[in-house]
Amino acid sequence: MAANHFHLLIADDDSDLRAGLRILLREMFGQIKEADTPESVLKHIETFYPDLLLLDLNFARGKTDGGEGIDLLQQVHARWPDLPIVILTAWAGIGLAVECMKLGAIDFVTKPWDNLRLEATLLAALRTGMIKREAAEAIQREKMLQRQSIREGMLVTESAAMKKVMELVAKVASTNASVLITGENGSGKNMVAREIHKQSNIADQPFVVADLTSLSPSLFEDTLFGHEKGAFTDAIEQRLGLFELADGGTLLLDEVANLPLHLQSKLLTVLSAGTVTRLGSNSTRNVNVRIITATNSPITSLIGNGQFREDLFYRINTIELWIPPLRERVEDFAILVDHFNIFFAGKYHKKPMVITSSLLKKMQTYTWPGNVRELAHTIERAIILGDPEKPDLSLLIPSLPDNEVRGKHRLDEAERESIARALRTTGGNMLVAARILGIGRTTLYRKIEKYGL
């Protein structure tokens, strides 16, 4: 993991020690700040918000009991629980180390330190911090998506077919029945799953998505069931799996038909028993999770070909909801176009496009294989790149030659410039730049690496 986009705060009262650490770590971190009192540590975090805090336990000269640092550790962890903290002290002891870990520190390094071990410890702490932030950001994204599911138009409808779907959603939401949602890519399966959760009596509990297409066999158990510290080489701390994160709420198993056969049996065992076992553990943990599955594949055909377990199918298929494709929702096309036009114009602070009835008819000649999602992305791209008074037909009809590649390239260029501008405006402050862009800080790091910024 490249660390040179991350920011470090060194908290120690020894200026010579801080200077040495700055020299040692300047290649690892994009920016390093220093603090020499507990008060300045809190002030720096409020204004600078680092990705990692390297914290000494003693500030006042002659103090060696670590009490001052432990008090500061408690304050920082209470106010910023996702900030990874590594303790640095010359007065090491097992009891003190254990106390610091209980109070929220990730690791403990003693003075004098070994350079390689210090660097490895800080990298591991950064990785742990990223995992925590990703989990927090994922929860926030899901909450936002639940709030925006209607506004963003996936469930905007006038068609009889979709109204029937919403009637079924209202009926199944209050039950704990397993629901299988089928339909083509982009038809709104995830949005329907979120709507079921939103209307259920556990709407205030977590809604967690497991994208089974993105899980390699080696990551399947770790991602879904979690692991204990030390379960394998990189298991530097305990990690909860998605089943435990969704405990009390809803877990969406997206594209369940793509799961390999040997992993289907493991999933069936968990669904049948209602328990999970973390990697590296011998004990099981009960989980109370409502299961919703989604797929764009014909599972019955896969069962006939021996590619999907019939017993698993019956376990996940108490209720089946089929989401009609956009081409079968002709009554919805115009209102969806209007909805996305207004929504994305507001999002990007631009005027809505002038879409005439003639232009709307030309758009309807396209088959929209990506369904509502493709329509939303197409209008978003046209809002960003086009003239609202004279909409560019090539931006609104994806079937025109090379339009998809050209449009993606231009959208990437626009996104890269937006990120670069935000970084320039904030002087490289990742937290503020992420807020300006409306994305999580972890997402910002990935996009910075993607665009070479």
**Given the structure tokens 């079921």, which residue do they identify?**
196
Q: What is the pLDDT of residue 152?
A: 45
For the chain, what is the domain count? 4
Q: With bands split at pLDDT 50, 70 and 90, how would you rate the model's confidence at 142?
A: low
Cα 70 vs. chain centroid, distance in angstroms? 32
Both 62 and 82 in one domain: the answer is: yes
The domain boundary, picked from 132, 151, 177, lies at 132
pTM of the model: 0.58
The reply to whether 138 falls in a domain is no
Q: Which domain holds residue 90?
A: 7-132
Instruction: Write the pLDDT tens digit of every residue in 371-385.
Output: 998 998 899 889 988
Both 283 and 343 in one domain: the answer is: no
Both 51 and 15 in one domain: the answer is: yes
Instruction: Write the pLDDT tens digit of every residue in 282-307.
Output: 888 899 999 999 999 889 889 998 99
CA–CA separation, 274 and 272 (whole Å): 6
Residue burial 338-361, b: 16+ Cβ < 10 Å; e: rest: bbbbbbbbeeeeeebbebeeebee
Both 173 and 197 in one domain: the answer is: yes
DSSP string, 343-362: HHHHHTT-PPP---HHHHHH
The domain boundary, picked from 290, 307, 324, lies at 324
CA–CA separation, 22 and 33 (whole Å): 9
Instruction: Assess whether pLDDT exceeds 70 at residue 1.
Output: no
The CATH number covering residue 251 comes to: 3.40.50.300
Taking residues 97-119, report their average pLDDT.
Answer: 83
